Every structure is written in C-alpha cells, then in structure tokens.
Amino acid sequence: MARWLSFFAEYNFVVHYKPGKNNILADALSRRPDYDPRRLTRHQDIPDDDDDDDDCATCMTLGINATVSSPVLPLRQQIAEAYEKDAFYAAIIRYLRNPTADTLARLTRPTRDVITRYDLDGDLLTYAIDTFDTPRVVIPADDDLRARLVHEYHDAPAGGHLGREKTFAALSRDFFWPRMYKWIRKWVRSCEICQRVKPAASKQAPLRPLPIATSARRSVSMNFIFGLPRDAEGRTGVLVFVDRFSKMVHLAPVAAEVTADESAEEHLFLDLVFCHHGLPESIATPVSHPRSGRGCLRCWAPACETKRVNAFIVQDV
C-alpha cells in the first residue's frame, strides 16, 4: 500500500464517487470466485504475455484456506500415473523398458537423438544431459502436477516466495520439464503476494547527501516550521536558519498564509545571518516544501544574479 501511495502521489487527480451498482468493472476484479477462501478452487489461469508460447501456466490452490479439500496423492505415485497420460514420455518409457527397433521407431527423430539422456529409476523417468550431470525426475505435461511442485518450492512457507531465479534454481536441481524457466517466470509474475510486497525498482539515480560541513558559517540550512501557537501578531510559522557545522540557530516568525515570494526571505536572511556571519558558501533548503522550495529559488533569483550563482543541486535530502 505504501508503494502505491508513493506512486499515486505524483499525480494530481480528483476522486469521484460512483455507486456500487454501476461499478461493474470493480466487482469483476474484486469478487473473482477463485479469490474466495470459502470455495475450493482447483485452477487459476495465469495470463500469458508471451505471444510465441501457447502453454499457459496454471496455478493450483491446495485447499489450505478451503473448508473442503480433496485428498492429494503421494508425489511419486502422481508422477508415475501422469506418465501414462503423456504420449511423448510414455513412448520413451516403453523404449527404456524394452529397447527394441520397434519401440525405437515409434520415437521422433529429435527424441532418438537425445534418448541417451533419459533413464529409468524404478517407475520414474530421469533426465541428465551427460554422465556428469545429476539425474533429475522428468515431469510430464500435467499442469496440476507442475503447479503442485512450484507451489511447494515457492508458495509454501518453506519456499518463502523466492524470486524467479532462486525458485528455478531450487526446482531444477531435482526436476525437469521443457521450458521450465518460462513456466516459473509466469508463476512468480502472477503470485499475488509477490506482486504486493515486492519493492519497486527505482529508475532514478540515488540521492546525493549533503557534504559534511568543515567549518562554521560556510553552509546554512533553511526551512519553514508551521502549526505553532499563534503569537500576538497572529503568526504561526517560523523561518529557521541553522549553521550546519556549529548548529547555531536563527529564528524569524512568519505568517502561515504568506508565500515564499511574499515573505522576503532575502531580507530576513540579511538581517539574521548575513549581518552577523557574512555570506555562506551554500544554502540548503528542501525543494519539496512549497514555502522553501521553488518559491525560494525565485525569491533568491536577484541575489543569485548579483553574486553570479548559476548552478545549484535540486533534490530532496
């Protein structure tokens, strides 16, 4: 929520009330049946943003928050039964169990070229690129089975909602299926928790802190403070000048409704700072504040022209 508040703070918009009975689009997004914890949802389609890939990842809810859940088969048994429904891997298993010319002819040419990478470990099919590679269990084209594995390695408490690279590295150590990396990438992109808590990558350059002052009266910070108790003249604000090295403070009362252009900060600076300590080398003021930001720069424009100051650093610190 903090990330979105920071994002929308950059825009100036007006919120208009719309009756709920007319807000059909919001109902379609917020009342999806697969987000209802009272119902057992077996599948959740993950949007496919890759035009060249027809395979769409499928997210399976294991019924953790559901009132009724169906029994889950042991993983080894579920993988073995899924081989029978996959014609591609079923043909490879038949050849490995009975390596004859007839069973080899049933395989496609690309499969025959890499048939040495496959082996049987009991009722499981394993895959290894060469003799130095660790054999990994082959997962057939079963979305429920693949979703169960990714859920255990990513969504489960032991998985910790790791990112795409770490989830792929952990899962690919023990299992294999074609285009596993792209499958996991879609899963992580569609994970609600990951998208909600993932910090936004900053595209801006990091802020540069102010250099540490080395002597007194060389660098002064200036800012407004408002919301103070009203004085005898009705002023509720204070213009604060602070020496960044010695921390000496000069205060000037100002009215809350006076803008930076009208408050004559240049004259206040001359009366409180310049007449006692001279002109400092730099003056630091927060740009984000409307009283000491852009208006302050416009107020100081004549003085900058007089002293031939034509460069400054504009950033929030």
Residue 32: what pLDDT? 57
Q: Which of 95-109, 141-155, 291-305 has the lowest mean pLDDT?
A: 291-305
Residue 51 has pLDDT above 60, yes or no: no
The angle at the Cα of 54, spanning 48 to 55, to the nearest 5 degrees, equals 75
pTM over 0.85: no
Q: Within 13 A of 152's CA, how many CA atoms are on the CB side?
A: 10
Q: Which amino acid is at 243?
A: D
* Section 165-177 average pLDDT: 91
| DSSP codes, 230-293 | P-TT---EEEEEEETTT--EEEEEE-TT--TTTTTHHHHHIIIIIHHH---SEEE--TTSTTTS
Residue 246: what pLDDT? 92
Residue 193: what pLDDT? 86
Asked whether 191 and 154 are in contact (CB, 8 A), the reply is yes
CA separation, residue 53 to residues 47, 50, 56, 78, 207 (Å)? 11, 6, 8, 26, 41
Please state, as a whole number, how many other Cβ atoms lie within 10 Å of the Cβ of residue 198. 13
Q: For a pLDDT cut of 70, what percent of the chain falls above it?
A: 69
* Section 284-309 average pLDDT: 62
d(CA 290, CA 292): 6
Write phi, then psi, for 175 (nearest 5 degrees). Answer: -130, 160
**Bigger pLDDT: 272 vs 137:** 137
Task: Sheet with 136-138: list strands edge to edge.
Answer: 118-121, 124-127, 136-138, 175-176
Write phi, then psi, for 130 (nearest 5 degrees). Answer: -145, -175
Residue 132 has pLDDT above 70, yes or no: yes
- What are the chain's domains? 58-197 (1.10.340.70), 219-306 (3.30.420.10)
Q: Is the dihedral of CA 21, 22, 24, 26 positive or negative?
A: negative
Biggest CA–CA distance in the chain, Å, is 105
Summarize pLDDT for 5-44 with one digit per residue, the tens: 888 888 888 888 877 777 666 655 566 555 555 443 344 4
Residue 59: what pLDDT? 38
Residue 237: what pLDDT? 87
Structure tokens at 120: 């049987």
